[in-house]
Structure 1
Amino acid sequence: MNTTSSGRRPAASIGAALGAVVLALALGACSSGNTVDGAGSDPVLSHVHGLGLHDDTLYVATHQGLHTPDPEGRPTPVGDRRDDFMGFTVTDAGAFLASGHPAPGSDGPADLRLIASTDSGLSWQEKSLAGKVDFHALDTASDSTVYGYDSAAGLLRVSSDGVAWEDRATLRALDIAVSPDAPGTVLATTETGVVRSTDGGRTFGAASGPVLAYVSWGTADAPFGIDPSGVLFRGSSDGTAWERVGAVPGGAPQALTAVDGSRLFVATQDGVYESRDGGRGFDRRMAVEPGNDGH
């Protein structure tokens, strides 16, 4: 496949846009100035960093903690932590993993380390790497291996238990995705295209395909990716070829999670959207307000 629309922006332009996003995230450009709106107005969130589905409930990891949408699409806080969850994923067993930066005024180091929740985000426990890492992307394999991309070091780190970690490839990336049926196959989005590893992230091949910002691999035959302008792609079963699906509403993307070949969630500049037909149509599930701090 690996087909693209003739209306796509030139690869160099998209690469430049992705480079700016990668650089902003790599430098940890998180401001404490954006908060959930106070009493007397509808709550509005900015800066979505991750999406997850558990027991058919959508969880949205943001600059202001974890939220779920209410029936009217307004964000409802989960638990009492308002940390900046830069990295977030839900494991096959239903555990939540997150990383990023503590909420303003919190005690402790600037890097949140890896934390975990077994009660759907109501409470969190420290797992490892306290004060040592800020994962901007997290994913887990079918054998429970945890993959985390340390943006500050430009390093992929891998753990079998979320406690002891092994440093693997050094690369400049924005997002990662692990194959659901091949725990050692990993995709990473870079400024020149998608790179692929088949040895657990120890080495990556040459970049190929469209320049994507975010990737997610819900089922073996359905990796999805979205480019910096908001165009959605569906990948081949091995993640080496990509076919354009269409544009997602709301502008530039902030996060992507594919549940399977039909159902996926995308956060863009004005909302979190859900598709149940493989990305051909979307409904907005939650409002998002564009941030003004470049993050």
Structure 2
Amino acid sequence: MQHVGRRLLSAAALSFALVACGQASPEHGGRSESSNLGVGHVHGVGVDPADGALYVAGHHGLFTVTSPTTIARVADRNQDHMGFTITGSKTFLASGHPAAEDVSPDRPPHLGLIRSTDAGLTWKVISQDGSADFHSLQLAGENLYAFDSQTSKVWRSADGGATWTQGTEEKVLDLGVSAEKSTRLYATTPQGLKVSEDGGVNFVEVPKSPLLSHVDVLTTGLMVGAGADGRIHTSQDDGKTWTTVGKLPGQATAFTAVDRRRLLAALEDGTVLESKDGGKTFTTAFAPTN
């Protein structure tokens, strides 16, 4: 197995990504209501098991990919998705900022945790409306984990997000967890990959791990991650050793392992790439035309 060293350039790139994701932008709660906004920065990609549709969650709404060059905005809504995950058939969780038409002067522009059970056509607020801005959402068994950019803490819920327990403060870009051991939580940070054995209360560094921007845990022991330099890494032993299997053409802004063979990644320009061989090669699932 290959141990991958950290590089200063990659660390700088990851730190930049963390800062960029944590800053408020002019889009948050103040965007044009035009339907021709494009996707914007992508923070989530996933496949709905109900029909196999590929979803892209960006600053300007939730989209389905209809061809390698075309996408369709779901429900003509342009809310900003800073966190997004598909948890079941037509069932999505998200967080971020409301669309311009939903902004009111008497509440902060944060969606809290919202859920859709009709593939994004409608959404219901579950908790933390107006206060939390979750940049990563991971469901594992009965445990739901989130990283809140407002408190810089990892949160944990055992009731689907209705109530929360706040854990440690970390600079987190992405979280990864398996339902097989739902109290073991991984976090990508500028210092490297970290792991918590107590559901996000305490984290320690994973030694000799590559510097990852994103990580997914598929089963106990099996992990896949996207490096800050675009390299794809896998581990078969809970992150003790890693193998480099392939490379993206740039740093991923969103990354999802649908299964051990099928990987999805979004790039800075909104391009979505797909691998069907565990990250060895990627093809373009969607590329914006402007």
Q: TM-score, normalised by structure 2?
A: 0.89
* Displacement after TM superposition at 1:254 (Å): 0.8
User: Is residue 219–residue 260 contact of structure 1 (8 Å, CA) maintained in 2?
Assistant: no
Which residue in the other structure is 1:155 paired with? Answer: 153
Give, in whole Å, the separation in 1 of the partners of 2:123 and 2:109. Answer: 17
Question: Does 1:197 find its partner at 2:193?
Answer: no
Residues 75-99 of structure 1, C-alpha deviations (whole Å, 9 max, x = no match): 1111232111000011146520000
User: Is residue 112–residue 133 contact of structure 1 (8 Å, CA) maintained in 2?
Assistant: yes
User: Is residue 192–residue 211 contact of structure 2 (8 Å, CA) maintained in 1?
Assistant: yes
User: Is residue 273–residue 282 contact of structure 1 (8 Å, CA) maintained in 2?
Assistant: yes
Q: How does 1:263-278 map to 2 (within 5 A)?
A: 263-270=262-269, 271-278=271-278
Secondary structure, aligned partner of 1:21: helix
* Displacement after TM superposition at 1:217 (Å): 2.3
Could you tell me which runs of 5 or more consecutive residues in structure 2 were left unpaired when the two chains were aligned.
none
* Displacement after TM superposition at 1:260 (Å): 1.3
User: Is residue 36–residue 64 contact of structure 1 (8 Å, CA) maintained in 2?
Assistant: no
- The one-letter code of the counterpart of 1:87 is G
Which residue in the other structure is 1:65 paired with? Answer: 61
Between the aligned residues of both structures, percent identity stands at 36
Moved more, 26-35 or 211-220: 26-35
Q: Greater strand percent: which structure?
A: 2
Residues 206-234 of structure 1, C-alpha deviations (whole Å, 9 max, x = no match): 24311111112234453211122211111
Which residue in the other structure is 1:293 paired with? Answer: none
Matched positions, count? 280
Give, in whole Å, the separation in 2 of the partners of 1:252 and 1:33. Answer: 26
Which residue in the other structure is 2:100 paired with? Answer: 104
* Displacement after TM superposition at 1:282 (Å): 1.1
Give, in whole Å, the separation in 2 of the partners of 1:119 and 1:273. Answer: 25
* Displacement after TM superposition at 1:184 (Å): 0.7
Query: Which of 50, 67, 74 is the equivalent residue of 2:70?
Result: 74
* Displacement after TM superposition at 1:48 (Å): 0.6
* Displacement after TM superposition at 1:164 (Å): 0.6
Which residue in the other structure is 2:183 paired with? Answer: 184
Residues 84-137 of structure 1, C-alpha deviations (whole Å, 9 max, x = no match): 100001114652000001112423431111000001111100100011110011
Residues 18-55 of structure 1, C-alpha deviations (whole Å, 9 max, x = no match): 111111212234535688873xxxx8433110011112
Which residue in the other structure is 2:42 paired with? Answer: 48
Secondary structure, aligned partner of 1:46: coil
Moved more, 122-131 or 279-288: 279-288
Give, in whole Å, the separation in 2 of the partners of 1:239 and 1:272. Answer: 26
Give, in whole Å, the separation in 1 of the partners of 2:289 and 2:112. Answer: 27
- The one-letter code of the counterpart of 2:200 is G
Which residue in the other structure is 1:210 paired with? Answer: 210
- The one-letter code of the counterpart of 2:228 is P
* Displacement after TM superposition at 1:240 (Å): 3.5
- The one-letter code of the counterpart of 2:14 is L
Which residue in the other structure is 2:174 paired with? Answer: 175
Q: TM-score, normalised by structure 1?
A: 0.87
Q: How does 1:1-295 map to 2 (within 5 A)?
A: 1-4=1-4, 11-29=7-25, 31=27, 38=36, 44-55=38-49, 56-92=52-88, 94-108=90-104, 109-143=108-142, 145-161=143-159, 162-208=161-207, 209-249=209-249, 251-270=250-269, 271-288=271-288
* Displacement after TM superposition at 1:63 (Å): 0.5
Give, in whole Å, the separation in 1 of the partners of 2:174 and 2:33. Answer: 25
User: Is residue 138–residue 176 contact of structure 1 (8 Å, CA) maintained in 2?
Assistant: yes
Give, in whole Å, the separation in 2 of the partners of 1:198 and 1:236. Answer: 18
Secondary structure, aligned partner of 1:17: helix
User: Is residue 42–residue 59 contact of structure 2 (8 Å, CA) maintained in 1?
Assistant: yes
Could you tell me which runs of 5 or more consecutive residues in structure 1 were left unpaired when the two chains were aligned.
291-295
Give, in whole Å, the separation in 2 of the partners of 1:36 and 1:210. Answer: 41
- The one-letter code of the counterpart of 2:230 is G
Give, in whole Å, the separation in 2 of the partners of 1:193 and 1:289. Answer: 35
- The one-letter code of the counterpart of 1:187 is Y
